[in-house]
Structure 1
C-alpha cells in the first residue's frame, strides 16, 4: 500500500468509517490513479471530471454507482490532502425521476375481483379511493 493510501486509511479509521466504506474508497482511489498512471496528488479537477465521464460513458455505470467514487475522491482531496475544492469539483449526478405505475380501470377491477374476502376487498377499495382523492 502506498504512503498516500495508508494516510487515507488512517484518516478514515480516525473518523470511524465502516470497514466496507474504507475498502471501497481505497479501491476507487487506486482505480482512479491507475487510469491516469499518475499519483492522485498530481491530478486536478479536470482529471476527476474526465474519470467520471469515462465511468459513465465507457464503463456504462449508473448515476447511483458513481456515488462511492465521488465520495472517495472528496475524502481524498478534502480530508487527506486538505484541499479546499468546492462541490462543483466533485459533481454528483442527478437521480432519475421515476413515475409511479398507474393501473388502468380494468386492472383495478381485476385486482379487486381477485380478493376473495368481502371484508378485505372493502378495506382495500376504501384505501384506494382515499389515495385517489388525495392525489387530486
Structure 2
C-alpha cells in the first residue's frame, strides 16, 4: 500500500473527525466519500458550490450508486462542509 500525501484540508478533516470521536471505519468512509467527490469535480472539494453538489447527486443516481452508499456520501459531505469548512449552506 502506498502512502498518500495528506493535504492540510484532509488533515483538518481528520482532526475534526477525531474531535467528534468518530471511529476509524467511519473516518475512512468519510475520507473515501470526499475523495470520490473531489475526483468527480476534478478540483479541491472545499470550493464546491450548491450546484456542484446537486450535479454530484445526479451523477450518483445515474451511475447506480446504492441508496446506502448515496446516504453515506451525503453524510460525509455534510460533515465536511459543516464542520471542516464551516459552510452550512
TM-score range, shorter chain: 0.7 to 0.9
Task: Report the Cα distance in structure 2 between the residues aligned to 1:65 and 1:26, rounded to whole angstroms.
Answer: 13
Based on CA coordinates, which of the two structures has the bigger radius of gyration? 1
Aligned position for 1:33: 38
Aligned position for 2:28: 23
Aligned position for 1:63: 67
Output the TM-score relative to the length of structure 2.
0.88
Task: Report the Cα distance in structure 2 between the residues aligned to 1:39 and 1:13, rounded to whole angstroms.
Answer: 22
* Equivalences, count: 84
User: In structure 2, which of residues 48, 63, 83 is the aligned counterpart of residue 79 of structure 1?
Assistant: 83
Which structure is richer in relative contact order (CA contacts within 8 A, separation 6 or more)? 2
Alignment partner of 1:3 is 2:8: yes
Output the TM-score relative to the length of structure 1.
0.59
**1:83 positional shift:** 1.0
Structure 1: gaps of 5 or more residues: 86-136
Structure 2: gaps of 5 or more residues: 1-5
Task: Report the Cα distance in structure 2 between the residues aligned to 1:50 and 1:70, rounded to whole angstroms.
Answer: 13
Secondary structure at 1:10 match in 2: helix
Aligned position for 2:3: none
